[in-house]
């Protein structure tokens, strides 16, 4: 089973390199992370923290938007596109199960995404450390940011496979992926903000709001990084919501999302007729 998964992963990795996804994702991460690091150097004196801490806070916000987007761009065409081109039927004719195909694609795409995250955040973090100082806590925060960004990308990769299996075409999968990104990354938080304003400090704001944040993988990622670092919490202003939850809630949510999304993707993939 592992050999078949790795064989599919190697094929998918070759396709990813040929389509320039690896290069494009890495360049995007480096450019945005470095730009945010340089632009965010001003608050270091005001906040009393080193530049790497402020850079990690800025890159946390960047990753909330960019990691899901890159993951969905890699995943939306994986099943629907292959079915349209006829490659899926050929692949299924070999002695490999649909679960193994899905896991092989997941391993290849997650490896590409992880490489882009490590290089992008690593370069920006190194630049911040050289220019504005570094300490042990900020280094730990940087490593945590990279690992949790990979987890966030894993969740949206799996969600992208699910949409790709559900859609009737690659075009439909692209539209569904764009809608999913808008809901999870933009509209969800806007809806919660509207509910908080309407609630005016009542039960929803005091009790349910932090749990609703943690239920979204993008917000769980942000809460995990904020709750684990006082410097990042100070720089992002999310310490209130993070402190209202037990420490295990955000990590558990972010760890569960890739597993649940992969199970859903497998379920819909099994029902797909190539």
Distance CA 191, CA 194 (A): 5
Residue pair 54/41 in contact by the 8 Å Cβ criterion: yes
Residue pair 99/266 in contact by the 8 Å Cβ criterion: yes
The better pLDDT of the pair 205, 193 is held by 193
Query: What Rg value do the Cα atoms of the chain yield, rounded?
Result: 20
pLDDT at residue 235, as a whole number? 46
Q: How many CB atoms lie within 10 A of CB 242?
A: 24
pLDDT at residue 261 above 50? yes
Quote the tokens at residue 247.
Answer: 């420490």
Query: What is the torsional sign of CA 29, 173, 180, 245?
Result: negative
Highest mean pLDDT out of 45-49, 134-138, 144-148, 195-199: 144-148
List, for residues 205-218, the tens digit of each pLDDT value.
777 888 888 899 99
Residue pair 58/37 in contact by the 8 Å Cβ criterion: yes
Nearest alpha-carbon partner for 54 in 72, 38, 73 = 38
pLDDT band at residue 148 under the 50/70/90 scheme: very high
Q: What angle separates helix 98-132 from helix 249-270, to the nearest 10 degrees?
A: 150
Mean pLDDT of the chain: 83
Contacts of 194 (CB under 8 A, 6+ apart): none
Tokens 């806590």: give the residue. Answer: 137
pLDDT at residue 37, as a whole number? 77
Residue pair 161/265 in contact by the 8 Å Cβ criterion: yes
Nearest alpha-carbon partner for 152 in 67, 216, 29 = 67
């Amino acid at each position: 089973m592992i050999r078949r998964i790795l064989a599919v992963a190697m094929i998918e990795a070759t396709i990813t390199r040929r389509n320039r996804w690896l290069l494009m994702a890495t360049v995007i991460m480096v450019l945005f992370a470095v730009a945010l690091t340089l632009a965010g150097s001003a608050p270091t004196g005001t906040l009393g923290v080193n530049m790497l801490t402020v850079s990690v806070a800025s890159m946390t916000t960047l990753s909330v938007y960019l990691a899901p987007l890159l993951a969905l761009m890699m995943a939306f065409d994986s099943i629907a596109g292959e079915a349209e081109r006829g490659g899926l039927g050929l692949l299924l004719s070999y002695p490999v199960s649909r679960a193994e195909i899905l896991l092989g694609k997941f391993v290849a795409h997650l490896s590409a995404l992880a490489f882009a995250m490590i290089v992008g955040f690593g370069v920006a973090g190194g630049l911040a450390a050289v220019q504005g100082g570094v300490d042990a806590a900020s280094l730990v925060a940087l490593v945590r940011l990279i690992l949790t960004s990979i987890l966030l990308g894993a969740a949206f990769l799996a969600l992208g496979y699910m949409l790709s299996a559900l859609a009737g075409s690659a075009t439909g999968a692209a539209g569904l992926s764009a809608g999913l990104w808008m809901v999870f990354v933009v509209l969800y938080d806007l809806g919660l903000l509207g509910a908080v304003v309407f609630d005016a400090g009542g039960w929803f704001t005091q009790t349910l709001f932090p749990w609703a944040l943690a239920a979204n993988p993008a917000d769980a990622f942000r809460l995990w990084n904020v709750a684990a670092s006082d410097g990042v919490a100070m720089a992002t202003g999310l310490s209130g919501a993070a402190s209202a939850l037990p420490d295990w809630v955000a990590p558990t949510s972010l760890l569960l999302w890739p597993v649940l999304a992969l199970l859903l993707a497998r379920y819909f993939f099994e029902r797909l007729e190539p």
